[in-house]
Amino acid sequence: MRMEGILRLEQERTARDAGLATSSSEKQPIPEKSSKAKTRRPTLPHGDRPLEHPHLNLDRGVRAAIARLSAGVSVHAFIEAWTDWAFHMCESPGRQFELAERARQNALKLAGHLANLGTDVVPPFAPKPYDHRFEYPGWLKPPFQMWQQGFLAVQDWWDHATDHLRGLRPEDADRTRFMARQALDTVSPSNFPSLNPEIIAATVATGGRNLTEGAAHFAEDLLKTLTQTHDPAPEGFRVGQALACTPGTVVFRNDLFELIQYAPQAAEVQAEPVLIVPAWIMKYYILDLSPHNSMVNYLVSQGFTVFMISWCNPTAEQADLSLEDYRRTGVMTALDAVNAIVPDRKVHAVGYCLGGTILAITTATMARQRDDRLASITLMAAQVDFAEAGELLLFVDESQVAFLEDMMWDQGYLDRPQMARTFSTIRSEDLIWSRAVRRYFLGQDDLPTDMGVWVADTTRMPARMHSQYLRSLFLENRLTAGRFAVEGRVIALKDISAPMFVIATETDHIAPWKSVYKTQLFTDCDLTFVLTSGGHNSGIVNQPGNPRSRYHASHRPTGAFYVGPDDWLAKATAREGSWWPEWKIWLEGKSSGLVPPPASGAPDRGLAPIVAAPGTFVFQT
């Protein structure tokens, strides 16, 4: 069997986990396909309890059908939020008077501005920083500015109407604000050709060709949505050619992942290798985009031996994959393989997004087991505490999770469009409506970019794993509450002693920076924290030479007192440029020096090279 070389390491670790000594005669290889599920429908909900009664399964089938129609969004949860808000508003005459006064003030501001239309007077209402719908200069001219200001005045009123209210559950207030914003976005004047000056100008300039081309785009997109088909990447953006093209070799493969070892680019490399754990909600090559912005290429060029996990794109047959599978058969098996290829050296472990969360769980478990194989830990835009997880929390309560579980129970996974819609609605102004105007009314094609090609190359989430993730981490926040168990025993992040490098991004709406910052609250180890410009992806893919890059950084020694995020930001050192060079220097400081680069794989240990990078799993659809 191919895994023979590292199976002995895996079996010894298994014995250590159980607190048992294993003799050489008792060592058995781990089946290479142990993670593959045989059943299509996972055992959900609430852990691992199957639902056997046919009436209950009928209920779940009906809810699964409703969930598909609503993209997994629970209507019950939203009705409950509106009801909670409406009842508390009825009991708050003071807030009603305040809102009436707000409406009067906004009306007076609008009336006053109407009297000065066409002048250089600053409009009373401004779009939000992330709202680009009104950037066209024509919105500053009458009558378009009147429509724009009227819309923004109503938006301002609803922002105040759905603000937190005494007695109203904060999550219900946030949810009603979110729903009010979504409803208002549908009637924005920018969405209507007769009210949008940019569409009118384009129609006049092209003789209406923009509308006919936009109609063709709409028909094309509708057909793709109905048939669930995707266009191949355009020329110049093909995976393995222009993207994910750093030279390397797949040196290990099981049903869950492929392990890529990248070819050295220097005569000497740092003795300690780097193992990167990306999120399985995305293809790994966000960290190996084009050569100029590839984090992998940067690390290799700076003299590091880099290994990358390339996760499989799970199907219905893998519905029973669990978080523990991703930890044990994924991260730990990859670590064992790296140790076999680069023996007697510790490893720099790097986790991005959800990959960082599972890496934190893994390292806390290793610390409990006195497993000291890690030289350092880097967490990039990764949360360990989910109490402040931003607008994604709007989609996570008991009703929401149950809806998603029923839908996944029926199809075996959370599908790609269902996840994409969730992320898009969080910034619907730009990701949905602005794109729709450009494509369907202005007739503009989407300009291909390496990041855009990667965004469209989405993956699925196994049903059991995603249910565990939503319940144990998002819904119940067990990891930092001291209630997250691995192999029957609770783990603690404070057990981690390896130095940490934690990166958060300023405008991250998936892992808000103050949520990522809380890693400092739940650990005691030596920790460097960086807050960089950009969002969840653009802040991490932040190559040197980007003129808009900046970051704040600080170092917390072992055992130092906790400092809150606002106080930290006020005192942290501000620096221009990319954070990558600082991270490179930090990794070098945690390494033991330069050595000749290791060979590709370890054939004598069952880790012979299989296929050239980027491997085969990255092409799974």
pLDDT digits (tens, 9 = 90+) for 489-547: 999 999 999 999 999 999 998 899 999 999 999 999 999 999 999 999 999 999 998 88
* Cβ neighbour number for residue 346 with a 10 Å cutoff: 19
Query: Within a domain: residue 161?
Result: no
* Cβ neighbour number for residue 375 with a 10 Å cutoff: 21
Query: Within a domain: residue 264?
Result: yes
Query: Within a domain: residue 47?
Result: no
Better-scored residue on pLDDT, 547 or 311: 311
Angle between helices 4-18 and 333-341 (to 10 degrees): 130
Residue 199, pLDDT above cutoff 80:
yes
Lowest pLDDT segment from 85-94, 427-436, 537-546, 582-591:
427-436
How do strand 248-253 and strand 611-612 relate by DSSP bridges? antiparallel
CATH number at residue 486: 3.40.50.1820
Non-local CB neighbours of 55 within 8 Å, separated by 6+ positions: none
What are the counts of helices (DSSP H) followed by strands (DSSP E) for the chain?
Answer: 22, 17
Residue 34, pLDDT above cutoff 50:
no
For position 478, what pLDDT does the model report?
95
Reading the block at residue 497, the tokens are 């002693």
- Do 382 and 351 form a contact (C-beta atoms < 8 A)? yes
Question: Tell me, what DSSP letter sits at residue 510?
Answer: S
End-to-end, the C-alpha distance of the chain in Å comes to: 28
Residue 468, pLDDT above cutoff 50:
yes
- Do 532 and 496 form a contact (C-beta atoms < 8 A)? no
| Model confidence band, residue 463 (pLDDT cutoffs 50, 70, 90) | confident
Better-scored residue on pLDDT, 5 or 191: 191
For position 70, what pLDDT does the model report?
65
Query: Within a domain: residue 570?
Result: yes
Q: Which of 82-96, 112-126, 230-244 is the most confident on average?
A: 82-96
In the block, tokens 């593959």 appear at: 36
CA distance 584 to 20: 39
Non-local CB neighbours of 409 within 8 Å, separated by 6+ positions: 41, 42, 44, 60, 64, 463
How far is it between the farthest Cα atoms of the chain? 91
Q: Which of 15-19, 133-137, 307-311 is the most confident on average?
A: 307-311
Q: What is the mean pLDDT of the chain?
A: 86
User: For 423-436, how does the pLDDT look when each residue is reduced to its tens digit (9 = 90+)?
Assistant: 556 666 667 888 89
Instruction: Give the mean model confidence (pLDDT) for residues 152-160.
Output: 96
For position 416, what pLDDT does the model report?
57
> Is 0.75 topped by the overall pTM?
yes
For position 610, what pLDDT does the model report?
97
Query: Within a domain: residue 98?
Result: no
Catalytic residues, by residue number, are 353
Query: Within a domain: residue 595?
Result: yes
- Do 350 and 319 form a contact (C-beta atoms < 8 A)? no
Residue 21, pLDDT above cutoff 70:
no
User: For 360-378, how does the pLDDT look when each residue is reduced to its tens digit (9 = 90+)?
Assistant: 999 999 999 999 999 999 9
Rg (CA), the chain: 26
Residue 175, pLDDT above cutoff 60:
yes
For position 425, what pLDDT does the model report?
61
Better-scored residue on pLDDT, 513 or 405: 513
- Do 288 and 246 form a contact (C-beta atoms < 8 A)? yes
Query: Within a domain: residue 348?
Result: yes
Structural domain containing residue 278: 248-386+463-619
- Do 392 and 510 form a contact (C-beta atoms < 8 A)? yes
List the alpha helices (DSSP H) in 266-370: 295-301, 323-325, 333-341, 354-368
For position 170, what pLDDT does the model report?
87
Is 131 strand, coil or helix?
A: coil
Total number of domains constituting the chain: 1
| Model confidence band, residue 343 (pLDDT cutoffs 50, 70, 90) | very high
Query: Within a domain: residue 427?
Result: no
Instruction: Give the mean model confidence (pLDDT) for residues 448-477.
Output: 89
- Do 162 and 177 form a contact (C-beta atoms < 8 A)? yes
